[in-house]
């Protein structure tokens, strides 16, 4: 198994979140992109405003590294027009993967038609431009029933509106990694959440993201059936090393 081809190396902190200047944070972003190229990871996941930089670096290195970005991150509360504007800009700047934060609060409030509409329209935009689309459902904000229902809603929306050949390009993704939980509860992928997603999103693929720090954790997720892993510890995982990185 080439675990590197499962890994979406991730750096999504803004300068203020990292407690750094813009220049200092930009150095971290550049280093993350360079490392992803050198290590042969599947993808580098960065903020939308860094996509053009990543594209320039990938082309210069003659690399096959994919470039991914997040849309309406991290809360997913924006209207569909805002989501689409951000997605189209990312596409123009060279993004390969668009990880949309699903409006999970609207889903929890029973606004099912709104959620269905954004899934349909945003997925159409992604697929029409030959992009991979991922829907982040933020499992830490949902109970078990909601995880099952939202995974199934995304699956059913895709199956009802797109061809089978497109299914592999539309993922259900666990987490942003930025959701604030109480009492130190996990804010990302857990085994139980991933199992529920796999069981209810199939035949759509699942991406596990948030809190995966070790090789053993990554292998367990892959054995369960996930197709991609989002992590800020990609190099540690690939080299079977431990990390104290808390992000």
Please state the rounded mean pLDDT for residues 62-83.
Answer: 98
Domain coordinates in residue numbering, the chain: 3-238
pLDDT in tens, 119-146: 999 999 999 999 999 999 999 999 999 9
Average pLDDT, the chain: 96
Pair type for strands 228-231 and 7-10: parallel
222 touches 3 (CB < 8 A): yes
When pLDDT is cut at 50, 70 and 90, the band that residue 156 belongs to is very high
66: pLDDT strictly greater than 60: yes
Q: Helices 215-224 & 191-201, crossing angle to 10 degrees?
A: 30
Residue 177 backbone dihedrals phi, psi, to 5 degrees: 85, 0
pLDDT in tens, 164-222: 999 999 999 999 999 988 877 888 999 999 999 999 999 999 999 999 999 999 999 99
Residue 89 backbone dihedrals phi, psi, to 5 degrees: -65, -40
CA 41, 42, 45 angle in degrees (round to 5)? 90
pLDDT for the residue numbered 244? 57
7: pLDDT strictly greater than 70: yes
If 0-12 CB within 10 Å is exposed, 13-18 middle and 19+ buried, where does residue 39 land? middle
Residue holding tokens 């903020």? Answer: 47
91 touches 98 (CB < 8 A): yes
Instruction: Quote the tokens at residue 205.
Output: 């693929």
Q: Which residues are catalytic?
A: 99, 173, 207
Report the CATH superfamily, name and number, of domain 3-238.
Aldolase class I (3.20.20.70)
Which of 212, 227, 144 is closest to 175 using CA atoms?
212
Instruction: Record the pTM.
Output: 0.96
Pair type for strands 170-173 and 7-10: unpaired
């Amino acid at each position: 198994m080439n675990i590197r081809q499962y890994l979406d190396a991730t750096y999504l902190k803004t300068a203020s979140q990292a407690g750094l200047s813009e220049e200092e944070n930009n150095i971290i972003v550049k280093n993350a992109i360079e490392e992803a190229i050198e290590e042969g990871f599947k993808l580098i996941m960065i903020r939308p405003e860094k996509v053009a930089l990543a594209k320039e670096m990938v082309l210069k290195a003659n690399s096959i590294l994919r470039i991914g970005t997040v849309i309406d991150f991290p809360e997913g509360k924006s209207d569909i027009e805002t989501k689409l504007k951000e997605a189209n800009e990312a596409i123009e700047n060279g993004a390969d993967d668009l990880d949309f934060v699903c409006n999970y609060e609207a889903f929890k409030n029973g606004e099912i038609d709104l959620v269905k509409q954004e899934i349909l329209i945003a997925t159409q935009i992604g697929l029409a431009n030959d992009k991979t689309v991922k829907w982040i459902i933020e499992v830490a904000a949902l109970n078990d029933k909601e995880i099952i229902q939202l995974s199934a809603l995304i699956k059913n929306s895709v199956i009802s509106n797109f061809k089978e050949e497109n299914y592999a390009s539309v993922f259900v993704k666990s987490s942003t990694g930025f959701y604030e939980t109480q009492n130190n509860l996990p804010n990302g992928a857990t085994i139980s959440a991933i199992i529920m997603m796999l069981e209810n999103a199939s035949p759509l693929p699942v991406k596990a993201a948030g809190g995966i720090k070790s090789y053993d954790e990554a292998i367990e997720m892959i054995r369960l059936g996930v197709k991609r892993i989002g992590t800020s510890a990609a190099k540690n995982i690939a080299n079977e090393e431990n990390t104290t990185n808390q992000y």
